[in-house]
């Protein structure tokens, strides 16, 4: 995706939010060896820290933990143990439908969200609609569309409203449960930090968006005579 040069504070923050959503989405995917090396050398942590800099949220508590340690084979085995292997469901599933209940209805709702903006999970990275990485990738997309609207003097409010709606109905409704379940499974520090960061960031984003005068004004116009 291409956009104009980032110049304003609003554009800088939208770009940072879009980038952070993408980094979080990547962190929850199965760790390929090249990505593990980025985590182990601290490059992933540094990328997250850079994305956090323009934002007004206190996300620093997660940064020290966002470095992988040990051998790739062991880290890979921990990912499988936590997120993919289990009787019926894994110990800590990464699918929102399992936490929210009525998984088929959840996936149908998510698919409607994605399709409304011209997106299809069939063209993505192979994850189901309710996988945490798919949901975070969608937020990355919406924040980027907000950035592009700001950069081209278009109206960013529809994309902000979509972000608030998606956060409230989807990510914020279940990420705290994922974070809590993960804490009891002796995970690597990387995933403790990643779970905390995803939950804290999405809650902070929702609070900020819901307090935005732009969204309040848009809501009043829609509810008015």
Percent of the chain at pLDDT exceeding 70: 91
Which CATH number characterizes residue 131's domain?
A: 1.10.3480.10
Is 141 among the domain residues?
Answer: yes
Asked if the structure places residue 4 within a domain, the reply is no
For 160, the domain range is 9-218
User: Is 147 among the domain residues?
Assistant: yes
Inside any domain, residue 175: yes
Mind listing the pLDDT tens digit for each residue in 168-190? Answer: 999 999 999 999 999 999 999 99
* Residue 225: inside a domain: no
213 within some domain:
yes
Number of domain units in the chain: 1
Q: What's the CA gap between 98 and 86, in Å, rounded?
A: 14
**Mean pLDDT of all residues belonging to the chain:** 91
pLDDT of residue 2: 45
- HSE at residue 94, side-chain half, CA atoms within 13 A, is 27
Residue 67 lies in a domain: yes
Region of residue 58 (left: phi > 0; alpha: psi -120 to 50; beta: else): beta
pTM (predicted TM-score) = 0.91
* Strand partners of residue 95: 131
Asked if the structure places residue 224 within a domain, the reply is: no
pLDDT reported for residue 216? 65
């Amino acid at each position: 995706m291409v956009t104009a040069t980032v110049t304003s504070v609003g554009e800088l923050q939208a770009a940072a939010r879009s980038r952070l959503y993408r980094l979080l989405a990547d962190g929850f995917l199965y760790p390929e060896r090249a990505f593990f090396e980025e985590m182990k050398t601290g490059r992933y942590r540094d990328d997250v820290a850079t994305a956090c800099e323009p934002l007004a949220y206190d996300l620093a508590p997660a940064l020290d933990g966002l470095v992988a340690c040990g051998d790739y084979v062991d880290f890979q085995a921990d990912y499988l143990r936590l997120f993919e292997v289990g009787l019926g469901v894994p110990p800590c599933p990464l699918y929102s439908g399992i936490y929210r209940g009525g998984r088929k209805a959840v996936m149908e709702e998510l698919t409607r969200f994605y399709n409304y903006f011209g997106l299809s999970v069939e063209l993505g990275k192979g994850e189901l609609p309710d996988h945490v990485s798919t949901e975070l990738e969608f937020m990355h997309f919406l924040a980027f569309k907000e950035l592009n609207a700001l950069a081209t003097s278009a109206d960013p409010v529809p994309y902000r409203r979509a972000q608030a709606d998606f956060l409230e109905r989807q990510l914020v409704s279940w990420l705290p449960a994922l974070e809590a379940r993960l804490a009891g499974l002796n995970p690597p520090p990387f995933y403790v930090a990643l779970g905390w960061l995803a939950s804290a960031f999405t809650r902070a984003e929702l609070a900020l968006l819901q307090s935005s005068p732009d969204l309040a004004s848009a809501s009043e116009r829609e509810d008015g005579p």
